[in-house]
Amino acid sequence: MTMIKKSASEMADALANGETTSVALTQAHLDRIAEVDKDVHAFLYVDTEGALAQAALADKKRAAGEKLSPLAGIPLALKDVMVQKGIPTTCGSKMLEGWRPPYDSTVVSKLRAADVVILGKTNMDEFAMGSSTENSAYGPTHNPWDLSRIPGGSGGGSSASLAAFEAPLAIGTDTGGSIRQPAAVTGTVGVKPTYGGVSRYGLVAFSSSLDQAGPCGRTVLDTALLHETIAGHDPKDSTSINAPVPAIVAAAKNGNVKGLKIGVIKELQGEGYQTGVLNRFNESLELLAGLGAEIVEVSCSYFEYALAAYYLIAPSECSSNLARFDAMRYGIRVGDASGVSAEEVMNLTREVGFGREVKRRIILGTYALSSGYYDAYYGSAQKVRTLIKQDFDNAFTKVDVLVSPTAPTTAFKIGEKADDPIAMYLNDIATIPVNMAGICGMSLPSGLADEDNLPAGFQIMAPAMKDDRLYNVGAALETALLSKWGAPILSHVSGLGARA
Amino acid sequence: MSLKYEDVIEKYEPVLGLEVHVELGTASKMFCGCNTIFGAEPNTQTCPVCLGLPGALPVVNEKAIEYTIMIGLALNCSIAPFSRFARKNYFYPDMPKNFQTSQYDEPICVNGFLDVEIDTDEGIKKFRVEIERVHMEEDTGKSLHMGGATGRIHGADYSLLDYNRAGIPLVEIVTKIVPGTGKYAPEVARAYVAELRDILRSLNVSDVKMEQGSLRCDANVSLRLIGSDVLGTRSETKNVNSLRSVERAVRGEMIRHAELLNKGERVVQETRHFQEDTGLTRSGRSKEQAEDYRYFPEPDLVPIVPDAIWIETLRAALPEKPSTHRKRLQEAWAVPDKEMASMINADVLEIVEETVNLGADPTKARGWWLGEIARIANEKEVAATDLPITPKDVAEIVALVATGALTDKLARQVIEAVIAGEGRPSEVIEKRGIKVVSDDGALMVAIEKAISAQPDVAEKVRGGNVPAAGALIGAVMKETKGQADAAKVRELLLKHLGQ
Amino acid sequence: MAGISRDDVANLARLARIDMAPAELDHLASELGVILNAVARVQEVAGQDVPPTSHPLPLQNVYRKDEVIQSLTPEAALSAAPASEGQRFKVPKILGEEA
Residues in chain C with CB shorter than 8 Å from the CB of B140 are 98
Taking only the tens place, the pLDDT of each residue in A283-304 is 999 999 999 999 999 999 999 9
**Same domain (yes/no): B275, B396:** no
Helix or strand (DSSP H, E) at A365 = helix A356-369
SS percent in chain B: helix, strand, coil, step 5 = 40, 20, 40
Name the residue range of residue B307's domain: 5-315
**Same domain (yes/no): B419, B483:** no
Mean pLDDT, residues A170-183 taken together: 98
Q: Which residue type does B402 have? A: A
Q: How far is A156 from chain B (nearest CA, A)?
A: 20
Cα-based distances in Å from B176 to B22, B73, B82, B197, B448: 18, 17, 22, 18, 72
Are A427 and A177 within 8 A, CB to CB? yes
- ipTM greater than 0.85: yes
* Catalytic annotation present for A154: yes
- DSSP, residue by residue, B283-309: EPPPPSS------EE-TTSPPB---HH
Select the residue of A203, A323, A326 nearest B55 (Cβ to Cβ): A203
User: What span, in angstroms and rounded, lies between the C-alpha atoms of A147 and A130?
Assistant: 18
Taking only the tens place, the pLDDT of each residue in B131-159 is 999 999 999 999 999 987 666 777 889 99
Residues in chain A with CB shorter than 8 Å from the CB of B65 are none
User: What span, in angstroms and rounded, lies between the C-alpha atoms of A471 and A402?
Assistant: 13
Provide the 8-state DSSP code for A378.
I
Name the residue range of residue A91's domain: 3-303+385-492
**Same domain (yes/no): B342, B478:** no
pLDDT at A77: 98
In a domain, A31, yes or no: yes
Give the phi and the psi of residue B379 in degrees, each rounded to 5: -60, -45
Q: Is B364 helix (H, G, I), strand (E, B) or coil?
A: helix
pLDDT at B490: 86
pLDDT at B497: 84
- DSSP, residue by residue, B391-441: HHHHHHHHHHHHTTSS-HHHHHHHHHHHHTTS-SHHHHHHHHT---B--HH
User: What span, in angstroms and rounded, lies between the C-alpha atoms of A135 and A116?
Assistant: 29
Q: In what order do the strands lie in the sheet with C88-92?
A: B142-146, B158-162, C88-92, C84-85
Q: Which fold has domain C6-43?
A: Histone, subunit A (1.10.20)
Is the minimum CB–CB distance between C34 and chain B shorter than 8 Å? no
Mean pLDDT, residues A45-57 taken together: 98
Mean confidence (pLDDT) of chain A: 96
CB contact under 8 A, C51 and A360: no
Q: Which among B183, B201, B194, B198 is positioned nearest to B217, based on CA atoms? A: B194
Mutation to test the B interface, candidates C53, C66, C91, most B Cβ within 10 Å: C66
CB contact under 8 A, C35 and A422: yes
CB contact under 8 A, A436 and C92: no
In a domain, A249, yes or no: yes
Q: Which residue type does A259 have? A: G
Taking only the tens place, the pLDDT of each residue in B209-248 is 888 899 999 999 999 999 888 889 999 999 798 999 999 9
Is the minimum CB–CB distance between C3 and chain A shorter than 8 Å? no
CB contact under 8 A, C81 and A364: no
CB contact under 8 A, C50 and A326: no
In the set A154, A284, A316, A319, the catalytic residue is A154
Select the residue of B33, B44, B307 nearest C67 (Cβ to Cβ): B33
Residues in chain B with CB shorter than 8 Å from the CB of C11 are 289
Give B4's contacts (C-beta < 8 A, 6+ positions apart).
none
Taking only the tens place, the pLDDT of each residue in B53-110 is 999 999 999 999 999 999 999 999 999 999 999 999 999 999 999 999 999 999 999 9
Is the minimum CB–CB distance between A238 and chain C shorter than 8 Å? yes
Q: How confident is the model at residue B287 (pLDDT cuts 50, 70, 90)?
A: low
Are A292 and A428 within 8 A, CB to CB? no
pLDDT exceeds 60 at position A1: no
Q: Is A309 exposed, middle or buried (0-12, 13-18, 19+ CB in 10 A)?
A: buried
Q: How far is B258 from chain C (nearest CA, A)?
A: 26
Q: Is A14 helix (H, G, I), strand (E, B) or coil?
A: helix
Is the minimum CB–CB distance between B97 and chain A shorter than 8 Å? yes
Return the residue of A nearest to C45 by Cα: A384
The count of structural domains within chain B is 3
Residues in chain C with CB shorter than 8 Å from the CB of A342 are 91-95
Per domain, the residue ranges of chain C are: 6-43
Are A51 and A121 within 8 A, CB to CB? no
Select the residue of C35, C46, C83 nearest A311 (Cβ to Cβ): C35
Q: How confident is the model at residue A422 (pLDDT cuts 50, 70, 90)?
A: confident
Q: Which among A260, A304, A263, A227 is positioned nearest to A9, based on CA atoms? A: A227
Domain boundary, last residue among B315, B337, B360: B315
CB contact under 8 A, C18 and A347: yes
Q: How confident is the model at residue B160 (pLDDT cuts 50, 70, 90)?
A: very high
pLDDT at C98: 61
pLDDT exceeds 60 at position B181: yes
Domain boundary, last residue among B315, B338, B358: B315
**Same domain (yes/no): B119, B38:** yes
Residues in chain C with CB shorter than 8 Å from the CB of A194 are 57
Q: How confident is the model at residue A114 (pLDDT cuts 50, 70, 90)?
A: very high
pLDDT at B286: 59
Select the residue of C19, C55, C83 nearest A347 (Cβ to Cβ): C19
In this structure, the number of other CB atoms found within 10 A of the CB of residue B445 comes to 14
* Catalytic annotation present for A79: yes
Is the minimum CB–CB distance between A343 and chain B shorter than 8 Å? yes
Q: Which among A279, A326, A213, A327 is positioned nearest to A458, based on CA atoms? A: A279
Q: How confident is the model at residue B478 (pLDDT cuts 50, 70, 90)?
A: confident
CB contact under 8 A, A369 and B302: no
**Region of poorest pLDDT, from A111-125, A360-374, A485-499:** A485-499
**In angstroms, how far is the first alpha carbon of chain C from the final one?**
31
Give the phi and the psi of residue A488 in degrees, each rounded to 5: -60, 145
Q: Where are the alpha helices (DSSP H) in chain C?
A: 6-15, 22-39, 74-78
- Tell me, what CATH number does A461's domain have? 3.90.1300.10
**Same domain (yes/no): B135, B217:** yes
CB contact under 8 A, B296 and A203: no
Mutation to test the A interface, candidates C9, C20, C26, C35, most A Cβ within 10 Å: C35
User: What span, in angstroms and rounded, lies between the C-alpha atoms of B117 and B343?
Assistant: 13
Residues forming a β-bridge with B283: B272
- DSSP, residue by residue, B142-198: EEEEESSSSSSSTT-SEEEEE-SSTT-EEEEEEE--B---GGGHHHHHHHHHHHHHH
Return the residue of A nearest to C89 by Cα: A329
User: What span, in angstroms and rounded, lies between the C-alpha atoms of A346 and A360?
Assistant: 17
Give the phi and the psi of residue B233 in degrees, each rounded to 5: -75, 140
Q: How far is C98 from chain B (nearest CA, A)?
A: 7
CB contact under 8 A, B48 and C72: yes
pLDDT at C1: 46
Chain centre to alpha carbon of residue A65: 34
Taking only the tens place, the pLDDT of each residue in B400-444 is 888 888 888 889 989 999 999 999 998 988 888 887 776 777 788
Return the residue of C nearest to A465 by Cα: C57
Cα-based distances in Å from C92 to A326, A389, B96, B146, B159: 12, 47, 15, 10, 6
pLDDT exceeds 60 at position A464: yes
3-state secondary structure B82-123: CECCEEEECCCCCCCCCEEEECCCCCCEEEEEEEEEEEECCE
Chain centre to alpha carbon of residue A208: 16
Q: Which among A99, A71, A69 is positioned nearest to A85, based on CA atoms? A: A99
Give the phi and the psi of residue B279 in degrees, each rounded to 5: 75, 5
pLDDT at A387: 98
Is the minimum CB–CB distance between A249 and chain B shorter than 8 Å? no
Domain boundary, last residue among B387, B410, B432: B432
In this structure, the number of other CB atoms found within 10 A of the CB of residue A441 comes to 32
Q: How confident is the model at residue A498 (pLDDT cuts 50, 70, 90)?
A: very low
User: What span, in angstroms and rounded, lies between the C-alpha atoms of B89 and A319?
Assistant: 9
User: What span, in angstroms and rounded, lies between the C-alpha atoms of B411 and B223?
Assistant: 49
CB contact under 8 A, B43 and C74: yes
Taking only the tens place, the pLDDT of each residue in A374-417 is 999 999 999 999 999 999 999 999 999 999 999 999 999 999 99
User: What span, in angstroms and rounded, lies between the C-alpha atoms of A226 and A243?
Assistant: 18
pLDDT at B477: 83
pLDDT at A499: 44
CB contact under 8 A, B61 and C64: yes
SS percent in chain A: helix, strand, coil, step 5 = 45, 15, 40
In a domain, A217, yes or no: yes
The count of structural domains within chain A is 1
